[in-house]
Amino acid sequence: MKFPGMILLTLGFVSLLLEFLGVNLVVLNCLSQWGGAASWAIRVSAVVLGAILYFVYRDD
């Protein structure tokens, strides 16, 4: 579970960075359609969940 956590953490950070820079990718359009607050909440929760998975299973 360490590797999926690291992937989710990385993708969450990339998604946050792209949203902050104003880049709108086709893959991330579904998040933007939910509204501003919901899309930020989904992105932040992906980062938090990825960090939890990574740090809980970092000894594997």
DSSP letter at 51 equals H
> pTM to 2 decimals?
0.82
Residue 26 has φ and ψ, to the nearest 5°, of -60, -35
User: What tens-digit pLDDT sequence spans the chain (60 residues)?
Assistant: 789 899 999 999 998 898 889 887 787 788 778 888 888 898 899 999 999 999 998 887
pLDDT value for 28: 78
Domain range list for the chain: 2-56
Q: How far apart are CA 2 and CA 12, in angstroms?
A: 15
Hunting for tokens 């991330």 — which residue is that? Answer: 28
Amino acid present at 44: V
